[in-house]
Amino acid sequence: MTDLYDAAVAFVVAGLSVGLTMAWLRHLSRRHRQRMDQLLALREALHEDLLGSLVLHQRTLANLGLHSLDWRGDWYGSPVFTRLGPKIPANVHGEAVTADTGTRLSDRVLRKSFEYDDIALEFRVGLKGLRGERHLFAIQAAEVLFAMIQGALAARQLALVAAVSQRAKVGIFLQHDMRNLAQWVQLVAEDFGSADTDELLMARARRLRSGSALAAHRAQRMAQALLNPTWQPSMSAPLLADDEPGGDEILDLNEHIGEAGVMHQVSIDLHGAGAVSWDASALATVLDNILSNVSGISRMRMLPATCRVVIKTEFESVEVRFETPHLPLEIPLVKLFEPWASAGATNRGLGMYQARKHAESAGARLEAQALQDGISVTLFIPCKNS
């Protein structure tokens, strides 16, 4: 009878022990999960300010068992060293091994190195005084932290590469815009230099005044883009910080074509009329590139700079056709919109490529066909935007 009583007591004690153990394990699991969630919540902060966020969230790291943490190395050309918590010994006794993740492990220190173009950092986590499940959990938390640091550094590097590439693209297209503006300045200088009478000088001054406002607007837009360029991958021209992508406005085609003709000193033979709801920047890019080519090639060949422009409204689009049958191309027609090809003899630029890409980004099309000895370039603006 006594044996049965002892056995029952033993079973009860064992059951209570198992129950208490399970409750304790659930408590530990819940606490570790909460602390790991706190660590994962640092991901966004690490992307914004890696080193500063580690210092700011030192208490969270300590709750994860990472009481001792330091890093040293090079941060964009500046030497850095920061210690959080007790000092970690420089030399660790005992042989260290390398984990599958590349982290150097010992019984007292975890190490992880990161190297990018301008960043070289070594992080160390001290494990002294941690035993059992606290030691294992600290190692797990350190591995997660190292993965988050690597992700933040990789994202920073990708953002830097994208920013450099963006500015390079903006620079390429601005170079062509600056060349167009410089060409306008050259035309003005030639006009005034060849004016040998007061009457002719006044006529050139009046023509300059009519085109100066448009040239000033181009120059101001270029200056703003150089100071604060924002690039849209779908567009081939700089989008200014204060511009809204896709912001259409009602454009009087006759007025814009006439102003562009005056600026580039091209005599426009205009047929038809029309107004469209479209991107003013895209229209300016198309007009600048087409008429600057007409002006430059005509003067190079000692021919009058003229262009016949026909505006026609069809069922699905408004067509604006630029005809220059008297100006033969010196490149195959198929290469007209090719980058770094040229409609002239010497210059290699992005003009017609830029015009076509910007028109397409605004929902239009730009096509070219042979016309007698020259070409015809047609801009198709969808009627849904007109």
Q: What is the dihedral of CA 293, 294, 299, 305, to 10 degrees?
A: -160
Verify that 260 and 125 share a domain, yes or no.
no
Regarding whether 216 and 106 lie in a shared domain, the answer is: no
Pair (230, 287) in one structural domain: yes
- Domain of 265 in residue numbering reads as 195-385
pLDDT at 232: 43
Let me know whether 145 and 225 are in one domain.
Answer: no
**Domain closes at, from 113, 144, 159:** 159
Is 24 among the domain residues? no
On whether residue 89 sits in a domain, the answer given is yes
Query: Within this chain, do residues 237 and 89 fall inside the same structural domain, yes or no?
Result: no
User: What CA dihedral angle connects 289, 293, 296 and 298, to 10 degrees?
Assistant: -140
Residues 328 and 235 in one domain: yes
Q: What is the CATH number of the domain that holds 75?
A: 3.30.450
Same domain for 47 and 150, yes or no, is yes
Same domain, 122 and 229: no
Looking at the fold, whether 264 and 352 belong to one and the same domain comes out as yes
From 136, 159, 182, the end of a domain falls on 159
Which pLDDT belongs to residue 182? 72
Q: What is the domain count for the chain?
A: 2
Cα–Cα nearest to 62, from 131, 130, 150: 130
| Angle at alpha carbon of residue 249, lines to 290 and 228, rounded to 5° | 75
Which of 131, 159, 187 is a domain's end point?
A: 159
CATH of the domain at 267: 3.30.565.10
Which residues, at least 6 apart from 29, have a Cβ–Cβ distance to it below 8 Å? none
Q: 200 and 62: one domain? A: no
| 93 found inside a domain | yes
DSSP string over 321-360: EEEETTS--SS-GGGTTSTT--SSSS---SHHHHHHHHHH
Q: Is residue 21 part of a domain?
A: no
374 shares a domain with 234: yes
Instruction: Tell me whether residue 3 is in a domain.
Output: no
Token duo for residue 241? 């910080």
In a domain, 119, yes or no: yes
- Answer for the pair 66, 145: CB distance below 8 angstroms, yes or no: yes
Q: State the residue for tokens 């580039």.
A: 264
Pair (141, 203) in one structural domain: no
In a domain, 180, yes or no: no
Mean pLDDT by 10 residues, the chain (386 residues): 65 69 64 68 82 86 85 88 86 45 59 88 85 79 88 86 68 64 71 76 74 70 62 39 55 91 89 90 88 88 93 90 91 81 54 85 92 94 69
pLDDT of residue 280: 85
Number of helical H runs and strand E runs in the chain? 9, 15
On whether residue 252 sits in a domain, the answer given is yes
